[in-house]
A and B are shown apart, each in its own frame.
Chain A
């Protein structure tokens, strides 16, 4: 394996871990709100979060460029103020992976939270617990397996992300070239042996994810 390809393996793992942590921070509260609260714009939030699941990844990537690119809605003011743009950095790979993985976590976690008996939450209220404490002490622990399964799915999705990453972060070897991009490049340049090695690494990582999720699913409360 070339140094660039080795760095692609590490970059992919790093990007996936950070994207999964971001997913946990954003996705779990979002899943709770969608499952338990009725608020204005709830349907719109629901659609927006789910969209990356059904849109072609390149389209999602395009929207991310429109939003965050050097001339983007948010990207342009940032570039003017700091001279820095997120596009074509490894942060861009993290953002692309996070957005693409979010619907998987939110949908899985939301279903798990919705399946928690609301009477358990009401019981906690009558025993003096505020709603946020009830969420932390009752709802989320009981939805734990579903939430963890969602995080595993999100990690797997982040690991395999290709289209949106290519659009926003590009394919710069040693900088933004993740494992799937590296495989694509190896195939394009006719390095069959290298491609095979990278595919083996990705397959192994994915198998690990499947085993981990099976273990989580089988664990009792």
Chain B
């Protein structure tokens, strides 16, 4: 059951080159990145629908593609299941015929048994004779998964399975998909440009940008320790800033930013010791910045770490939360256009503190919520 998928491929298209290398084992590997990064192209190369210019694709001990050995197994014989964007169900065939489509060549009794089994496990009983346009979106997803899983593929490839859906259905189908993937215990490679989806469904996340892999890591490591400023940017992390190192020790990093001193925790597993005066990227999660209440007396720098003060220049109302754009009391150009820091507060806090009327605040953040981004030094980061 536990087979590894090893991928190394180069595919040159006009104006775009895909050049990636990664591997995946049990569970779900998510290829994540912006549109046009080469994720679907990778999937097509894996399935054999597209021939790479160079590389090697191996599932377990089976070589599917190898330019050096001149091996290129056609898609018909790769033994991989492919779930297409929009599902690509055969509209002229019934649910049962769709699910049985990949079982041709087996004895009729086996086909019938397998189709019945898949229909039962997918909860599609009673819909055998319906056409794809006569069933719901959720049922369609299950037919698409059932059709791909029926021949018992070594790996399941899923291309943006949820992208065509509206928000409500998308979330419920995402949960259903997560359930089916763990239920069937099938190794899968899933493509998405939605980080929430990647995080929810993936055990491992491979981050794509412009035809390259910029980080491959278990999902929790990716979120808390992005490998670089670029990865942080693609993950949609806000408040990615640049400061100057003052002092770095294995457990703390002191840095100067916008004329202020900030103290951050150095990563205990991957401590990073840049030289003083080095430029350094870091990020502050907007939901971890605290506003200091004015009714509790003067802020005490001993209790409030990383104390800053400034004015709200803009705000955005997202219903349950407000995003406040702060400009700090420091001379010079603000760090992010017309503001320095994005701060997110729950609506309740916004109302209790009467932020709508009061635009001047002191801010503080714990050193543990300032994340340093390694590998993004002064000059060597532009590989």
| B: contact size bracket | 20 to 34
- Given the known inter-chain contacts A122-B49, A122-B82, A126-B81, please indicate yes or no for A117 contacting B102, CB distance below 8 A: no
A205 an interface residue at 8 Å Cβ cutoff? no
Least distance between A134 CB and chain B CB atoms (Å): 10
In the bound assembly, the distance between CA atoms of A119 and B75 in angstroms comes to: 13
Q: Mark A125-139, 1 if CB is under 8 A from B, else 0.
A: 111111000000010
A contact face: mostly helix, strand, loop, or mixed: helix
Among B94-146, those with CB < 8 Å from A are 101-102, 104-105
Q: Are B75 and A126 in contact (CB under 8 A)?
A: yes
A221 an interface residue at 8 Å Cβ cutoff? yes
A142 an interface residue at 8 Å Cβ cutoff? yes
Among A159-174, those with CB < 8 Å from B are none
Least distance between B374 CB and chain A CB atoms (Å): 40
Q: Are A128 and B84 in contact (CB under 8 A)?
A: no
Query: Across the interface, which residues of A come within 8 angstroms of B84, CB to CB?
Result: 119, 122-123
- What residue of chain B has the Cβ atom nearest to residue A127's Cβ? B102
Query: Across the interface, which residues of B come within 8 angstroms of A221, CB to CB?
Result: 91-92
Least distance between A110 CB and chain B CB atoms (Å): 19
In the bound assembly, the distance between CA atoms of A130 and B104 in angstroms comes to: 12
In the bound assembly, the distance between CA atoms of A76 and B86 in angstroms comes to: 57
Least distance between B42 CB and chain A CB atoms (Å): 15
B213 an interface residue at 8 Å Cβ cutoff? no
Q: Are B92 and A127 in contact (CB under 8 A)?
A: no
A120 an interface residue at 8 Å Cβ cutoff? yes
- What residue of chain B has the Cβ atom nearest to residue A138's Cβ? B90
Among B188-243, those with CB < 8 Å from A are none
Query: Across the interface, which residues of A come within 8 angstroms of B39, CB to CB?
Result: none
Q: Are B92 and A142 in contact (CB under 8 A)?
A: yes
Q: Are A128 and B86 in contact (CB under 8 A)?
A: no
In the bound assembly, the distance between CA atoms of A203 and B78 in angstroms comes to: 57
A17 an interface residue at 8 Å Cβ cutoff? no
In the bound assembly, the distance between CA atoms of A85 and B80 in angstroms comes to: 57
Least distance between B371 CB and chain A CB atoms (Å): 41
B88 an interface residue at 8 Å Cβ cutoff? yes
B147 an interface residue at 8 Å Cβ cutoff? yes
Which of A127, A141, A142 has the most chain B CB within a 10 Å cutoff?
A127
Q: Are A126 and B91 in contact (CB under 8 A)?
A: no
Q: Mark B55-93, 1 if CB is under 8 A from A, else 0.
A: 000000000000000000011111011101110101110
Q: Are A120 and B101 in contact (CB under 8 A)?
A: no
Other-chain residue from B49, B85, B91, B147 in contact with A127 (beta carbon distance below 8 A): B147
Q: Are A120 and B90 in contact (CB under 8 A)?
A: yes
Q: Are B88 and A119 in contact (CB under 8 A)?
A: yes
Q: Are B78 and A126 in contact (CB under 8 A)?
A: yes
A148 an interface residue at 8 Å Cβ cutoff? no
In the bound assembly, the distance between CA atoms of A129 and B86 in angstroms comes to: 20
Q: Are A122 and B104 in contact (CB under 8 A)?
A: no
Query: Across the interface, which residues of B come within 8 angstroms of A124, CB to CB?
Result: 90, 101
In the bound assembly, the distance between CA atoms of A129 and B148 in angstroms comes to: 13
Query: Across the interface, which residues of B come within 8 angstroms of A130, CB to CB?
Result: 76
- What residue of chain A has the Cβ atom nearest to residue B131's Cβ? A221
B286 an interface residue at 8 Å Cβ cutoff? no
- Given the known inter-chain contacts A126-B49, A127-B151, A128-B102, please indicate yes or no for A117 contacting B88, CB distance below 8 A: yes
Q: Are A122 and B88 in contact (CB under 8 A)?
A: yes
Among A83-121, those with CB < 8 Å from B are 117, 119-120
B364 an interface residue at 8 Å Cβ cutoff? no
Which of A119, A123, A130 has the most chain B CB within a 10 Å cutoff?
A123
Q: Are B80 and A126 in contact (CB under 8 A)?
A: yes
Q: Are B76 and A123 in contact (CB under 8 A)?
A: no
In the bound assembly, the distance between CA atoms of A169 and B101 in angstroms comes to: 49
19 contacts between A and B (CB under 8 A): A117-B88, A119-B88, A122-B47, A122-B82, A122-B88, A123-B88, A125-B74, A125-B76, A126-B48, A126-B80, A126-B82, A126-B102, A127-B102, A127-B147, A128-B77, A128-B105, A128-B151, A138-B90, A141-B92
